[in-house]
């Protein structure tokens, strides 16, 4: 049984993670962390208090950019593997997380998007960019998303050739959507992915929880897990 700590359990993504972990036969929610959950069983206002009560095997973090780095480093130093869906980490912070994961006993997996279709979209866009000369990315998210461009869009652009321009849209009614539009000689190619609810991310999160325990150091993206690469 994999004991999981859900950090950000009071948020929309955190609630979905709690539900997804609870439905699996080989894992359970051992503790929930969120300032809004005070007084509930096995719930804590911060990660330090949670880890003082026990040591889960894996922490899943869906919080906010201001707190994710402290959460991840605290968990790694405590020997807890981490799966991170919160975006907004800086390059320097990722480098420090890598150093902690490679130098300690706990591993880390950071992914900008856990939807399997989104991972495929990024892979197809990277391949297409080698054959078409220009591309632009349009990412569309709900108006409560704090960062722009999204982590998925930045990851997609980083995988593609030609340094594509990224456009961000924030509107109520959206969840998470991305189009990659590539242009060639008298033709265009559009690759689009739509997450219709937060449940679309849960199979990837569960996959990452199982995988992070056996992937030494830092894994960036869900692609290595999905495609079986280092």
Of 81, 141, 177, 193, which is the active-site residue? Answer: 141
Task: List C-alpha distances in Å: 228 to 197, 205, 215, 223.
Answer: 27, 16, 11, 8
The whole-number pLDDT of residue 157 equals: 97
The residues facing 155 across adjacent strands are none
Question: What values do phi and psi take at 206, rounded to 5?
Answer: -60, -40
Of 145, 167, 177, 185, which is the active-site residue? Answer: 145
Q: 20 CB contacts (<8 Å, ≥6 apart)?
A: 199, 202, 205, 206
Catalytic residue list contains 145: yes
Buried b (16+ CB within 10 A) or exposed e, 44-73: bebbeebbeeeebbbbbbbbeeebbbebbb
Residue closest to 193 by CA, chosen among 121, 142, 139: 121
Mean pLDDT for all residues in the chain: 95
The 10s digit of each residue's pLDDT in 109-145 is 999 999 999 999 999 999 999 999 999 999 999 999 8
Task: Tell me the whole-structure pTM to 2 decimals.
Answer: 0.90
Pairing of strands 134-141, 165-170: parallel
Q: 131 CB contacts (<8 Å, ≥6 apart)?
A: 184
The whole-number pLDDT of residue 156 equals: 96
Catalytic residue list contains 141: yes
Peptide bond into 106 cis (omega under 30): no
Distance, in Å, from the CA atom of 10 to the CA atom of 226, rounded to the nearest integer, reads 28
Number of helices (H) and strands (E) in the chain: give both, helices first: 8, 11
The 10s digit of each residue's pLDDT in 85-99 is 998 899 999 999 999
Domains of the chain: 2-110+199-227 (3.40.50.720), 116-196 (3.30.360.10)
With a cut of 90, say whether residue 38 has pLDDT above it. Answer: no
């Amino acid at each position: 049984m994999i004991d999981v700590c859900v950090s950000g359990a009071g948020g929309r993504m955190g609630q979905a993670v709690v539900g997804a972990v609870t439905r699996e036969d080989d894992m359970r929610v051992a503790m929930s962390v969120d300032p809004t959950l005070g007084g509930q069983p096995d719930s804590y206002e911060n990660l330090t208090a949670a880890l003082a009560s026990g040591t889960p095997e894996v922490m899943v973090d869906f919080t906010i950019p201001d707190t994710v780095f402290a959460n991840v480093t605290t968990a790694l130093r405590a020997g807890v593997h981490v799966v991170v869906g919160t975006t907004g980490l800086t390059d320097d912070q990722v480098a420090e997380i890598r150093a902690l994961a490679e130098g300690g006993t706990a591993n880390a997996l950071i992914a900008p998007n856990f939807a399997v279709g989104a991972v495929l979209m990024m892979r197809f866009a990277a391949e297409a960019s080698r054959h078409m000369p220009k591309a632009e990315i349009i990412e569309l998210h709900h108006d409560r998303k704090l960062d722009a461009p999204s982590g998925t869009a930045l990851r997609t652009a980083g995988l593609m050739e030609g340094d594509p321009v990224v456009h961000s849209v924030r509107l109520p009614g959206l969840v998470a959507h991305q189009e990659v539009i590539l242009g060639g000689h008298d033709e265009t190619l559009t690759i689009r992915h739509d997450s219709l609810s937060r449940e679309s991310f849960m199979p990837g999160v569960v996959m990452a929880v199982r995988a992070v325990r056996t992937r030494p150091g830092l894994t960036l993206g869900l692609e290595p897990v999905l495609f079986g690469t280092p």
